[in-house]
Structure 1
Amino acid sequence: MKTIRLIIKQMRPKQWTKNLLVFAALIFTIPYIDAAMIYLAVAGFFLFSFVSGCVYILNDFIDLELDRQHPDKKNRPMASGELSPTLAISLGIIILSVSLWVGSMLNIRFGLVLCLYFILNVAYSLYLKKVVIIDVMVIATGFVLRAVGGAYVIDVPATPWFIICTALLALFLAISKRRHELILFQNQEGDYRPVLDSYSPKLLDEMNGIVTTATIISYALFTFTSGRTINLMWTIPFVIYGIFRYLYLIHIENKGGQPDEILLEDKPILITVLLYSLTLIVILLYF
C-alpha cells in the first residue's frame, strides 16, 4: 500500500485538474449525452491523468540529482529516497502501457492522441522547453490534445472553432506562466529556466495582448456560428471577465504560474467558471 501511495504522489495528482478539459466536448454535446458517453469521458480523464503522471515520473527520474538539491523538490518520493527510482520507472512503464492500450480499445483515435501527448511531453522535457516561443506553443498543444481527446473518446467531432478557442486560451495560459516565471527570476525567486533569457516582460505582454484579443473574438464567433443556439452569446461576458481577472492576477498580484492552483484558490475565477458552466448547460438544455 505504501508503494502505491508513493507512486500516486510521484504522479502529482494535484496537477490532474488540467485534464478536466477532457470533459469540454461532453458538455458541449448537451442535450445528446447518454450514460455511456459519461463513462467514456471519465475514463478519458483518468487515462490522460495516468499518462501525464508517467511523464512526471520520467521528468523526476531525469532531474533526480537536481531535485535532491532543491529546497522543495527534494521532498518528492524519488528525490527523498522513499521510492526507488528503478521501481518508479518500472511501474511507470506498466501504467503507461496499460493506459495506451486501454485508450486504444476505447477509441483508436483517442489512443493515438494519448500516444502523441506522451511523445510531445517527453520531447518538451528533453529539449523543446529550451526553444523560445516553441516552448509555449507546445504547452498549448498539450491542452488542445486533451480537448480533442475528450471529443474522440466519446466519438463526437472536434470542430475547428472548438480547437481554435481551446488553442488560443491555452496559449494565453502558457504565455502567462512564462511571464510569471520571468518576473520571479528577475526577483531572484523560483526556478531558473534557460529559455527565460530569450524573453522579456514587454515581449510576453505583447504576445498576450494578441492572444487575448484573438481568444475573445474567436469565442464570440464560435457562439454565433457553432450551429447551436445563438443564446450561447450570453456566455461571452463570463469569458471576458475570466480573462480580465486572470490578467489582473498576472499584472497586479504577480500570479499566473500555476493555472490549476488559481482555478481552485481564486474565488472570482472559480465562481466565474462555475457560473459559465451552469449557464452553458442551461442554454444547451432549454434554448
Structure 2
Amino acid sequence: MADKKVAKPLVLDVDGTFLRTDMLFECFWAGMGKDPIGTLKASFAHFRAPARLKAELAEIAQLRTDLLPVEEEVLDLARAAQAEGREVILASASHEPLVKQLAADHDLSERVFASDGVVNLKGKHKAAALVEAFGESGFDYGGNAPVDRAVWDHAEGALVVGDEASARAMEDKGKSVTRVTGGWRMKDVMKSFRPHQWVKNVLLLVPMIAAHAFDAGTLVAAVLGIIAFSAAASSIYLVNDLLDLEADRLHVKKCKRPFAAGTVPIQVGMASFFVLAAIALGVAASLSWAFLGVVAFYMALSLAYSLKLKRLRWVDIAMLASLYTLRVVAGAAATGIYVSGYLLVFIFPVFLALGCVKRLTELTLATSDERLPGRGYGRPDRPDLLNVAGIGVVAALVSFFLYSFTEQALGLYKTQWLIWVAELPLAWWMIRMVRLGWYGKQDYDPIVFAMKDKRGIGLMLITIAIMFYAAGLWQEWFGM
C-alpha cells in the first residue's frame, strides 16, 4: 500500500483470506470427532442462526487455532504492514473468542471484529462495524469472496485473495487492489481421494483367483466392483481426513494432506464425499443387491471407524482387519462366486497382522514417546503389537494348511503337497512384513508398501505360481 496510507489499519478477513480454511467448518468437523451427536444437534437446531451456530460449535470443538493453515502471502503482507507501524486487525464472521485466539497466535492486534453469538458479522454488518470504528475509507481491507464487496466499497485499499471478479470490480470503482492468488487445484482434490490406496481393492479379485474363474464376465464384474469400492473408500478417506485435521497437523507427514495443509477447502471435500458416495452406490446397485449391501455396510463401518473406533486400542486393529476382509466378501458378491469360510479365516488374521504392522511402523517412526495423535498407542505398546502380529501370522498359516484338506481345495488342486510348499514363500512374506514394521522400514500403510515392494511382490508371485501349478493351470494354459 502507498505511504500515505501508513497510519490506516489493515483489516483482514479470516476464513479464506488470512487462513487457508474456514473456522466454521473446522469447528464442525472437530466437533464431529469429539461429540458427533451434540454437533449434529447444534447444526440442525441453529442452521438458520449462523452466529448462534458458530458459538455452539466453537464450544464443542475447542479448536486449536495455532494449528490452522495460514495464507503465507497474506501473512507476509501483514508483517510488512506491522513493520510500517500499522495496526493489523482480524475481522471475521467466525466466533469472537476464536478470532481473538487466532490474533494472539500470530501477534496481531488485540482488537478484533467478529460474530458474538447474536450478530453474524458478515457483509454489510462487517462494513458498518468497520466504518463506525475507522470512518469511511479509513482502513484497507483484505477479503476473498463476493460478499466482501460490501466492505471493500467502504475501504480505501482492497487486498483480494483468489476472487478475480471482485478484484476487477474494485478496480473499476477506482480502488487500489492488491491481488493474492489463493484458490485450490483439482490436482490437490484428486490427491485427497488417495488414489494410491485404490490398489488395496485388488483384494476383490481374490475370490475370482481362488475359484480359478477367469472368464470375461466374471472379470468385468470384478473390475466394476473395484471401481465402486474405490469410490466408496475415497469418500470415507475424505471424511477420515476431515475428522483428523488436528491429529494430521501434528503428524510429521500427514500435515501435508490437502485439508490439513489448507490446499483444498473443507467445503470442496464435503461436496466430493457426496459425489463419490453416489458413484459407489450407483455402480454397486448396477451389479447386484448383495454387492450394494456389502458396499453400504463397508461405508457405514468405515464411518464408525473414523468417528470413534479408530481411537480405541486393539479395537482399531480388529476393525482394520475387518475392513480388508470385507473387500474379499465384496469381490464374491460382485462376481457371484462362493467364498470358502477357510478363505475368510485365512484372510482376517493376515490383515490383523498387517494392522499391527501399521501401528508398529507409526510408533517406530514417531519422534517422541507420547501416544500417537488420535490413536491410543505409545511406544511401550510395541512388544504387544509384535505379539499380536505373530499370532496373526501363525493363525493365517494354520488356516491355509487346514484349507488344503477341504473338499473345495481337493477339487481345485490336483497336487495337494504343492499347496504346502506354497506356504513357505507366503510365510516368508508375512514374517518379512512384520520385521520391516518393527524396524520402521516401510510405508505408514503396509498394503500400499506391499504393492511397491519388489521383493515382497516376488514372494507373492512365487506363491501364486506354485498354487496355479498345483491346480494344473499352467499345464492347461501353456501345455507345461
Q: Using the TM superposition, give the Cα deviation of residue 158 of structure 1 relative to its aligned residue in structure 2, in angstroms.
A: 1.6
> Structure 2 matches for 1:208-247, cutoff 5 A?
208-225=389-406, 226-227=408-409, 228-229=412-413, 230=416, 231-247=418-434
- Of 252, 258, 269, the residue aligned with 2:456 is 269
1:107 aligns with 2:294: no
Matched residue SS, 1:166: helix
| CA distances 1:215-256 after superposition (whole Å, capped 9, x unpaired) | 111111112324321243332112111122223323455547
Structure 2 CA distance for partners of 1:198 and 1:79, relative to 1, 3 Å: closer
- Of 214, 221, 229, the residue aligned with 1:40 is 221
C-alpha separation in 2, matches of 1:77 and 1:101: 27
Match of 2:388 in 1: 207
| CA distances 1:188-216 after superposition (whole Å, capped 9, x unpaired) | 59953441059622222222222221111
RMSD of aligned alpha carbons: 2.6
| CA distances 1:51-74 after superposition (whole Å, capped 9, x unpaired) | 110111112223345545655444
Letter of the structure 1 residue corresponding to residue 256 of structure 2: N
Match of 2:8 in 1: none
Structure 2 CA distance for partners of 1:275 and 1:121, relative to 1, 3 Å: same
Letter of the structure 2 residue corresponding to residue 243 of structure 1: M
Letter of the structure 2 residue corresponding to residue 213 of structure 1: V
TM-score under structure 2 normalisation? 0.55
Any gaps of 5 or more consecutive residues in structure 2?
1-183
- Of 174, 178, 192, the residue aligned with 1:10 is 192
| CA distances 1:99-125 after superposition (whole Å, capped 9, x unpaired) | 112202201111111111111111111
Structure 2 CA distance for partners of 1:71 and 1:232, relative to 1, 3 Å: closer
1:148 aligns with 2:335: no
Match of 1:61 in 2: 242
Structure 2 CA distance for partners of 1:134 and 1:234, relative to 1, 3 Å: same
Matched residue SS, 1:224: coil
Letter of the structure 2 residue corresponding to residue 201 of structure 1: R
Q: Which has the higher contact order (CA 8 A, sep 6+)?
A: 1
Matched residue SS, 2:377: helix
> Structure 2 matches for 1:50-199, cutoff 5 A?
50-64=231-245, 67=248, 72-185=253-366, 187=368, 192-197=373-378
Structure 2 CA distance for partners of 1:101 and 1:250, relative to 1, 3 Å: same
Structure 1 residues 160-169 or 180-189, which shifts more?
A: 180-189
Letter of the structure 1 residue corresponding to residue 320 of structure 2: I
C-alpha separation in 2, matches of 1:84 and 1:117: 26
Structure 2 CA distance for partners of 1:55 and 1:214, relative to 1, 3 Å: same
C-alpha separation in 2, matches of 1:128 and 1:198: 20
Any gaps of 5 or more consecutive residues in structure 1?
none
Check the 8 A contact 2:369/2:379 in 1, yes or no.
no
- Of 408, 431, 447, the residue aligned with 1:260 is 447
Check the 8 A contact 1:41/1:153 in 2, yes or no.
yes
C-alpha separation in 1, matches of 2:315 and 2:247: 24
| CA distances 1:136-160 after superposition (whole Å, capped 9, x unpaired) | 1000000110011011100011210
Number of aligned residue pairs: give it.
285
C-alpha separation in 2, matches of 1:104 and 1:199: 46
Check the 8 A contact 1:184/1:190 in 2, yes or no.
no
